[in-house]
Amino acid sequence: MKLDALNYILVAALVVSALGTVMAARLLMAALGLAITSAVLSIILFRFDAPLAAVFELSVCAGLIPAIFISAIGMTRRMSDEDLAERQKRRFRKLWFLPVLTILIGVALTRVHVALDFPMPGATAVKDVREVLWNLRHVDLVGQVVILMGGAFAVVVLVKELKHE
Amino acid sequence: MLPLLILVPLAALLLCNLPFNRQIRCTAVFLFAGAWSLIQSAMVLFRTDVLVAPSAINKFISFGLHLTDVGRVLLLTIGVVTFAAVMVGNRMVTGERARFNFINVLLVSLVGMNGAVTVTDLFSLYVFLEVTSVSSFVLIAFNRDRNGLEGAFKYLVMSAVATVMMLTAVGLMLMFAGDTSFSAVHKALTVNGGHMLAKLAMILFVSGLFIKGGLVPFHGWLPAAYSAAPAPVSVLLGGVVTKVSGIYALVQLSQNVFPPNAVVNHILMVVGTASIIVGALAALGQTDMKRLLAYSSISQVGYIILALGAAGQGGTPGKLALAGAVFHLFNHAIFKSLLFCNSAAVEDIVGTTDMLRLGGLGARMPLTSATSVVGLLSTAGIPPLSGFWSKLLIIVALWQSGLYAYAVLAVLFSVVTLAYLLTMQRKVFFGTLREELSRVTEVGMSLLLPQVILAIVTIALGVLFPLLFNTFLLPVGKL
């Protein structure tokens, strides 16, 4: 697929949200950053004709995993504003190199040429997501349902039971 | 019938969450989990033909599942260890709500493990490994104490790194093969296996599985998770979860998906040996029983990985190494579950697994102590117990392959294994009974039964080895 302007914007958004996730001082912001990163990645996957991967990324990585993180964060104590500001400063001091490193790796990747000198058969040419989910990958669909159930139990075990107690 | 291995526990999971009386549901689902794990074990042992035969269900649902000889061993392991975990959980998880939640998540884990063992597609394998990981994360954090949450968090973070590696590898392999089925990827890698990206894909997937299996140098999460988890979860994790999510997947890939690759084989042998050494040396310095057993697991899994690497050398020694790897995988699942059941018994009665606060318990807990001796001797490879034979197969295969240094190290660290496990036994069960433990009594049937069953299996596998060798192991190694 040709890298048009929208793709560049999406990749930039992906990188920025991922960096924000890692560098955020507040756990809640980091969890939200993770959800945004996964959501942007899902859009990229949809645009790359990978609907199954996109659906999986969107539901599990953008939905379930941040939900579990947020559930766990809900059990923690809130930091004071002063502590938070100090923590944010320390985090920037510790991780300042990450954006620099990301830019350097990005530049290096555009310079490196990997010879794709092998036949690429291309993914199975089924475009309809229903066909993929119901006829080709239904075992994965069952697996995904079970992961969602596991996530639901995580919320019950980690949060609901705590409130109950 | 194979889809039933996934669908029956899943249906039970859905049914027990319907709005009936919670107490009835809780009892029913506990009974179901115990019964199903036994049925699964019995089907693998006595009626594998029923499992693999086409049935009416295949007309409606065909998951494309397949059961290999190694898969059979794993299904049996899952059944036996899950039964032990259910029995331990029945005693040690208290409170109706907690029991209900525990058994639900355990069923999710069972679905994940059964799926991972029977799928024939790399992406499906990834999906079911994730099912197992999510349930493990919840189970480790089940008590919501500081240690449990820390262990679960470490496991989650490392598991996420493994996921990224494995997904990247699946993407690269999809590029080569146009499909993610084992057969298509094998075919594509056989043609293009020498390409840099193909090698990268293989190394990424294998590294991801190293993390899931808790192998050195990716083992940081394992002692924290095993020791912080509630006792029945430690039995499940130490016994079978890491075997399925890391080790079985490695066996499956190295034997059926990746073409013979010297680089991958060398990596396996080096990582296996490093795990044997680091795990054993770290176990020597532990004062907590569960933490010691966790490091011991790293070391014993190292033997399996070392043998798997040697299996890639090919020829009869290679096949012998594969048979040894699979046999040790099963044996380790059984005797390590046994040792974790022993630690659960100690924790249940005394309330701690800190060895500095224990001593002389053998006088008050004779059966727990006796079964612990069986478990530790088998782990150390003392004849005629099962661990002796599997280690012997591995060491003979290494020697016959000309891998003398690896063989010598494997023998030497068996001695170290004996040293740290005997130290554990001495500190916990032998010696004079501490005064504050004078009121201790033997555990009840729910904790004794799994210990006795696992000890009997460990002894029987050793004594019946000549019979097993011909009927069970030789077909696995395709000798």
A157 contact B CB<8A: yes
- Which of B144, B159, B190 to substitute to test the interface with A, most A CBs within 10 Å? B144
Residue B457 tokens, joined: 């299996």
Q: Is this complex's ipTM strictly greater than 0.85?
A: no
Q: A120–B175: do the CB atoms touch at under 8 Å?
A: yes
Q: Is B381 left (phi over 0), alpha (psi -120 to 50) or beta?
A: left
Q: B13–A149: do the CB atoms touch at under 8 Å?
A: yes
Of A144, A147, A161, the CB nearest to B101: A161
**Chain A closest CA to B465's CA: distance in Å?**
37
pLDDT tens track for B398-438: 999 999 999 999 999 999 999 999 999 999 999 888 888 88
**Chain B closest CA to A161's CA: distance in Å?**
8
A146 contact B CB<8A: yes
Contacts of B121 in chain A (CB under 8 A): 139
Of B111, B144, B197, the CB nearest to A158: B144
B88: Cβ contacts below 8 Å, ≥ 6 apart: B231, B232, B235, B341, B344, B446, B447, B450
pLDDT of residue B222: 92
Helix (H, G, I), strand (E, B) or coil at B288: strand
Please state, rounded to an integer, the average pLDDT across all residues of chain B. Answer: 90
pLDDT tens track for B292-326: 999 999 999 999 999 999 998 888 899 899 999 99
CA distance B206 to B257: 12
- Which of B63, B124, B127 to substitute to test the interface with A, most A CBs within 10 Å? B127
Question: Are the C-beta atoms of A91 and A23 separated by less than 8 Å?
Answer: yes
- Greater confidence (A56 vs B245) lies with B245
Question: Are the C-beta atoms of B14 and B111 separated by less than 8 Å?
Answer: no
Nearest C-alpha in B relative to A72: B149
Question: Are the C-beta atoms of B300 and B242 separated by less than 8 Å?
Answer: no
Amino acid code (one letter) for B442: E
pLDDT at B246 over 90: no
Transcribe B145-198 into DSSP letters: -HHHHHHHHHHHHHHHHHHHHHHHHHHHHHHHHSS-BHHHHHHHHHHHTTSHHH
Q: B138–A158: do the CB atoms touch at under 8 Å?
A: yes
Contacts of A151 in chain B (CB under 8 A): 134
pLDDT at A59 over 80: no
Of B10, B104, B174, the CB nearest to A153: B104
Contacts of A137 in chain B (CB under 8 A): 123-124
Size of interface A-B (CB pairs under 8 A): 103
pLDDT of residue B60: 65
**Chain A closest CA to B76's CA: distance in Å?**
21
pLDDT tens track for B174-187: 888 888 899 999 99
Q: B127–A161: do the CB atoms touch at under 8 Å?
A: no
User: CA angle, A158 as apex, A156 and A164 as ends, to 5°?
Assistant: 65
pTM value?
0.88
Q: What mean pLDDT is predicted for residues A68-78? A: 76
**Chain B closest CA to A51's CA: distance in Å?**
14
Phi and psi at residue B181, to the nearest 5°: -65, 150
User: CA angle, B267 as apex, B266 and B271 as ends, to 5°?
Assistant: 120
pLDDT of residue B207: 93
Transcribe B428-448 into DSSP letters: HTSSPPPGGGTT-----HHHH
**Chain A closest CA to B155's CA: distance in Å?**
14
Nearest C-alpha in A relative to B179: A123
Of A122, A137, A161, the CB nearest to B97: A161
**Chain A closest CA to B243's CA: distance in Å?**
19
Q: How many CA atoms lie within 13 A of B160 on its CB side?
A: 12
